[in-house]
Amino acid sequence: MNENSKIVQGEIRQENKMGTMPIPKLLLSMSLPIIISMLVQAFYNIVDSIFVAQIDPDGKAFTAVSLAFPVQNLMIAVGAGTGVGINALLSRSLGEKNFEKANKVANTGIYLAIFSYIAFLLFGIFFVDDFAKLQTNDPEIAKYCVEYLRVICILSIGIFMQITMERLLQATGKAFLSMVVQLAGAVFNLIFDPILIFGLFGFPKLGIAGAALATVLGQIVSMTLGIVINIRCNQEIKIKPIHYRLDRKTVGGIYGIGVPSILLMSIGTVMTLCMNQILITSAASVAVFGAYFKLQSFFIMPVTGLNNGMVPIVAYNYGAKNKKRILSTIRLSIVIACGIMLFGMLIFQIFPLQLLQMFNASEEMIAIGIPAMRIISLHYIFAGVCIIFLSVFQALGKSIYSLFVSMGRQLVVLVPVAWIFANCFGLWAVWWAFPLAEIASLLLSVLFMIRVYKKYIKPLSLKKQS
């Protein structure tokens, strides 16, 4: 049996799994490994923040990391947004049995990861100081911010290649191997974070730079493992960038789906920058906002993992024109996502004090944070449905709808309402902007989902018959 035969057989197995396996079992097999790996990543994010909060007694290092978060979020937006395009286009190509196109998508995605890295490398070399000065007037916080971000940006090749390698595995149905890739880096981070921050076991004490270094080295570990696994185990695609080179049409196809996703996730960066400026008069409020974002990842990341498992299933069956499997996947995903978010809301409502104490919170931070956590988490009631609908839009190549919803939520409602509340009632009222913005997001998401169903999903049964 020659190599091509093996590849063809791999493609047929992939079709059978994505096109015929019962939806509950398929969604579980696709999502659970990613959810587990993202839970570990969320756990690392929280532990990392706990260690950083111990660097100085005034909490300035933790505040600096909170101010640096928008740049990290932008990296994730570029990498994951491009990954959405790769994932959806590759899965759809496999569903259409266009295997040559699938190979072009995979190898073009590797080029795009390298280009993304170069952009942030330049930012890390030339613009980090200016960014820190724009965020704060405190020289010590600015110093911490520069020290952290410079390492994160200059060595960011790991995050972009890691995300790309994970998406290639997810798109071909190898969610377990994708979990292995992410877990490897997360475990490395958990081990070396305290070692490099505090100088344990003979390693130098690097402080906040050690936190950054542990992060990027973990990403590079995942990147390396991801490359090896894709080359050796992912027989549905051929990883040969030099052979396939950069394909303009494929770049357009990836970014046609990916750019709205990048903008969608980048809106979070703009929102965070704006919220930090609204809250900057109270360092404790900025710290509370930063702590909330670290904690919410423990619930948002599992839903993101669910989405990552759902997107290739929806995209594949859209390519195969199987309406029933698309709708079954969407319904089940909504139930699971809402369950996770409801659990998250209950945790924030019942244990806000205990959550804040993990970050060495001052009395002022606790006084601000307890009502803030309870108010913000109210929007989780609606968030599960919105998150799934946004991912459906992306899977079907209609990411522009996701972009409109996110812009409406974060820039049209959340930030302006937060600014108005801060100026009219005080900082305590800012947190109410979150549930109000999520209600607006839900209404807009439902309207777009009705349109997508009528225009793109409902006609599939007729196309199947013809």
Report residue 464's pLDDT band, with 50, 70 and 90 as the boundaries: low
Q: Is the pLDDT of residue 345 over 90?
A: yes
Quick one: angle between helices 399-407 and 248-279, nearest 10?
10
Q: Is the pLDDT of residue 225 over 90?
A: yes
| The pair of three-digit structure tokens given for residue 174, joined into one six-digit string | 């190898």
| The pair of three-digit structure tokens given for residue 27, joined into one six-digit string | 């969604």
Share of the chain above pLDDT 70, in %: 95
Report residue 466's pLDDT band, with 50, 70 and 90 as the boundaries: very low
Tens-digit pLDDT profile for residues 226-257: 999 999 988 888 888 777 777 788 888 888 87
Say if CB 302 and CB 34 are below 8 A apart.
no
Determine the average pLDDT of the residues in 93-113.
85
Q: What residues make up the domain containing 341?
A: 3-465
Amino acid 461: pLDDT: 65
Tens-digit pLDDT profile for residues 167-191: 898 888 787 888 889 889 888 988 9
CA dist., res. 12 & res. 10, Å (int): 5
pTM: predicted TM-score of the whole model, two decimal places: 0.73
Share of the chain above pLDDT 90, in %: 39
Among 385, 382, 392, 393, CA closest to 437: 382
Tens-digit pLDDT profile for residues 326-343: 999 999 999 999 999 999
Number of structural domains (the chain) is: 1
Amino acid 183: pLDDT: 86
Amino acid 245: pLDDT: 74
Amino acid 7: pLDDT: 41
Amino acid 211: pLDDT: 92
Amino acid 462: pLDDT: 55
Report CA-CA distances (Å) from 447 to 364, 381, 391, 407, 444: 42, 18, 15, 15, 5
Report CA-CA distances (Å) from 4 to 1, 10, 95, 345: 8, 10, 19, 51
